[in-house]
Homo-oligomer: A and B are copies of this chain.
Amino acid sequence: MSDEKKIVTGLGKPELHRVLIRGHDLTKDLVGKITFSDMTYLMLVGRFPSDGERRMTDALLTILVEHGMVSSVVSARLCYSTAPEAMQAAVASSILGAGSVHLGSSEWSAKMLVKAFPTGSSERDIDAAASAVVKKYAEKKKRIPGIGHRTHPEGDPRAVRLFEIARETGVYGRYCDFIQRICKAAEAQYGRQLPANVTGAIGAIALDMGLPWQLTKAFALIGRTLGAVAHIGEEIRNPMADNINSAIKAQLVYDFDSK
């Protein structure tokens, strides 16, 4: 087969006596010496993080682990209760919901930031681009991804904290700045508070760390995998799936005339 048909990877290589990860010996140089956030940074960015980048990565990985009995963990619990021999299926069922509306919205927010970021770099250029974003979504009557939150309408404390850490660690860059300007433009347009939410913050910070917009929801997926496992653990100790089904049944109405 010709060379163009070769399958190339630069991530990992298993050998008889060692496993290489981006050229490093997994067991000799990495495991036992680095943290999981070091590994995350190494895998996604291609080099080890600075102290500030490590702290930022830990914050991004930690922020979305748990948010109560949200729909993604409800799915994990229901799936586990009917298929306990395949715990990985319950976890997968959970992360499948990480889409444009919830949990995965960092991707959509980051994509918007990348596409809308101006080529000029003056404050005026950036503010104009921010206003253009707000205008475009207003015309389409769509919500701007990464801005506003139902549970936290007065401001998502998680976003506030992430931006704080981004400033402290020096990760805060042009995309963090850009989303803040979009929020300001949106507040002017709609006459009410419209701060960045947690996935908006994650998207902007991940871009400033050098990730492509397509990978910004990595942190949500990793964090919520842990969250789903923890809910499955609680389900094992104290099963709630039947009560979830009962709560739904109690509100159920059958209407065979609806189409």
Contacts and interface: CB of A to CB of B under 8 A. Distances in A.
A78 B217 CA distance: 19
Interface stretch (A95-103, A135-143, A172-180, A184-192): A95-103
Contacts of A68: 9, 11-14, 19, 252, 254
Contacts of A98: 82-83, 88
Contacts of A86: 83, 85-86, 88-89, 96, 99
Interface residues of A, number: 128
Contacts of A231: 9, 11
A229 to B, nearest CB: 4
A46 B238 CA distance: 14
A27 to B, nearest CB: 4
A241 interface: yes
A92 interface: yes
B99 A31 contact: no
A31 B165 contact: yes
A10 interface: yes
Interface in A218-246: 218, 221-223, 225-227, 229-234, 236-238, 240-241, 243-246
Contact of A43 (B165, B226, B252): B226
Interface string A8-49: 111111101111111100110011101111011001101000
A67 interface: yes
A244 B209 CA distance: 30
A21 B254 CA distance: 11
B259 A67 contact: no
A14 B198 CA distance: 13
Contacts of A6: 243, 251-253
A97 B157 CA distance: 35
B88 A44 contact: no
Contact of A256 (B22, B72, B246): B22
Given A1-B250, A11-B227, A88-B96, 10 more contacts: A17-B157, A22-B256, A36-B37, A36-B40, A43-B66, A69-B252, A71-B244, A90-B96, A238-B258, A243-B251
27 contacts: A1-B246, A1-B247, A8-B238, A8-B254, A11-B234, A12-B227, A22-B256, A26-B63, A27-B157, A35-B35, A43-B229, A74-B74, A83-B96, A83-B97, A83-B98, A84-B101, A86-B88, A86-B99, A87-B215, A212-B236, A214-B232, A218-B229, A222-B226, A225-B225, A237-B258, A247-B247, A247-B251
